[in-house]
Structure 1
Amino acid sequence: MQTEMVHNLSYVNGNLQEFISYLDTYYIAQKQGAVIATVNPEIGYAAAKDKGYHQVISSADFVLPDGIGVVLMSRLTQHPLKSRIAGFDVFLSLLGLANRQSKKIFLYGAKQDVLDAVLNRISKEYPHIEVVGASNGYEADKRFVAKQISRAKPDIVFVALGYPHQEQFIYENKHLFPQAVSIGLGGSLDVFSGTVKRAPRWMIKTNLEWLYRLVTNPWRWKRMLNIPKYAFTVLRDNKSNKSLYSKQAEDQTKQL
């Protein structure tokens, strides 16, 4: 799978279909575990500020450009990514794959009523999926949840705790479920349950999903400030050639 380095993170450089096909062929079909990080400008900025969090993100087997801001920055810094790969779309694709192949999944995150709605929808629309466990995101003992996942031996683990908690959880506990493909999903369970509406299709296609979120959730404006901060940081560091990687390490990320 081709990758491209954008501001010290090696992103998958393809589209959704290419990525899911590659993941299925070389990981899921082989029962080989993998970690997927979905990175938008907010997460990219957090990783730029915190070396520890950067290590968590960069250790993932796949880093996906889940945000048009990441794609735009890639083009402005001469490391163009083909397209955005949204975490919610990956979630739907993996559910479809799991249903076709009768895979086992574990869900961790969201409020209990949201999680119940998600489980209800999965049972109706994806009847061949085996849900081997689920825990809401308010379980205080994360180690307990990790052990639950370990005992359940799922093929896919969906973690929706929001950043940086979901990435940190997977990073610290992936050794307990090494056979599973694990992915951090942010607010995807809220959208899937119907609790939160996703932007209209035309806004998604025109890369205006961020604007829809801001209009429907104006309290997000402070978080949205991280988008220009991310852009400034990427352009500044690109101009000064600042990197956490050696040139040799960057070359090695071109092909996973």
Structure 2
Amino acid sequence: MQTEVVSNLSYVNGDLDEFISYMNQHHISQRRGAMIATVNPEIGYAVMKDHAYHQVVSSADYVLPDGVGVVLMSRMTQSPLKSRIAGFDVFMSMLDLANKQSKRIFLYGAKKEVLEAVKQRIDTEYPNVVLAGSCDGYQADKRFVAKQIARSKPDMVFVALGYPNQENFIYEYRHLFPQAVCIGLGGSFDVFSGTVKRAPRWMIKTNTEWLYRLIVNPWRWKRMLNIPKYAFAVLKESKGKKRYYPEQVKDQTKQL
């Protein structure tokens, strides 16, 4: 796939359909593993602040611009990306492929009740998907979970732990299940289960999904401040004034 570099990360430069078609042809249908990182402005800013986290995210086979802010900054720094590729949409598309090809999947993350709702919906709407295993996001022993995933021999692993936990987990343990396509999905299980509603389609199309989240969850306003911080940092970096920030990333439970 074509890529463009924005703030020292190489992003997939395409749209959802192009990406899914490529993944199916080169990975899923051939059982070739891959790590997919979904990066929005909040995660992009966290990557800029932490060398170790940058190493983790940049090691992904595919970094997706999961946020209109990333796309906007790419165009302001002469590295234009075609479009946003939302992690939730990739999740849905991969489930469609798994259903058509009777693929094995593993679900890791979210609360127990949310995970159960996700499993029930998959069982109803994607009857040919083989649920190889699952684990909620509150299992303290991550190596135990990784071994559980390895034993299940999945084709796809969906990790919804929030950043940076989900990327760190895939980075550390993907060698145990090298045939699987692994992706970090933030709060996608909450949306898929119906626990959290996604923005109306018109807001998604007009790139104002972030505003819907702020209206529904006003407590997010502090996290929303990372969007202008990210924009300022990217512009500053593009002018060669500063490259990284010294702070360490705090664990988060959901993506924007």
- TM-score band w.r.t. shorter chain: over 0.9
What TM-score comes out, normalization by structure 2 length? Answer: 0.94
Displacement of 1:241: 6.8
Q: Name the counterpart of 2:254.
A: none
The alignment yields a C-alpha RMSD, in angstroms, of: 0.9
**Mapping for residues 41-190 of structure 1, pairs under 5 Å:** 41-190=41-190
SS in 1 for 2:44: helix
Identity of aligned residues (%): 74
Q: Name the counterpart of 1:9.
A: 9
- Deviation by residue 1:128-176 (Cα, 9 ceiling, x = unmatched): 0000100000011111000000000100000000000000000000000
CA distance in 1, matches of 2:167, 2:237: 24
Aligned 8 A contact 2:35 2:183 in 1: yes
> Quick one: which amino acid aligns to residue 137 of structure 1?
G
Displacement of 1:14: 0.1
Gaps of 5+ in 1: 245-256
CA gap 1:149/1:98 in 2 versus in 1, 3 angstroms: same
> Quick one: which amino acid aligns to residue 51 of structure 2?
K
What TM-score comes out, normalization by structure 1 length? Answer: 0.94
Q: Does 1:192 align with 2:192?
A: yes
Q: Name the counterpart of 1:250.
A: none
SS in 2 for 1:36: strand
CA distance in 2, matches of 1:30, 1:119: 25
CA distance in 1, matches of 2:178, 2:223: 33
CA distance in 2, matches of 1:242, 1:163: 24
Q: Name the counterpart of 1:248.
A: none
> Quick one: which amino acid aligns to residue 50 of structure 2?
D
SS in 2 for 1:178: coil
> Quick one: which amino acid aligns to residue 231 of structure 1?
A
Displacement of 1:31: 1.1
Displacement of 1:239: 1.0
> Quick one: which amino acid aligns to residue 120 of structure 1?
Q
Q: Which runs of 4+ in 1 moved over 4 A?
A: 241-244
Aligned 8 A contact 2:66 2:86 in 1: yes
Aligned 8 A contact 2:103 2:129 in 1: yes
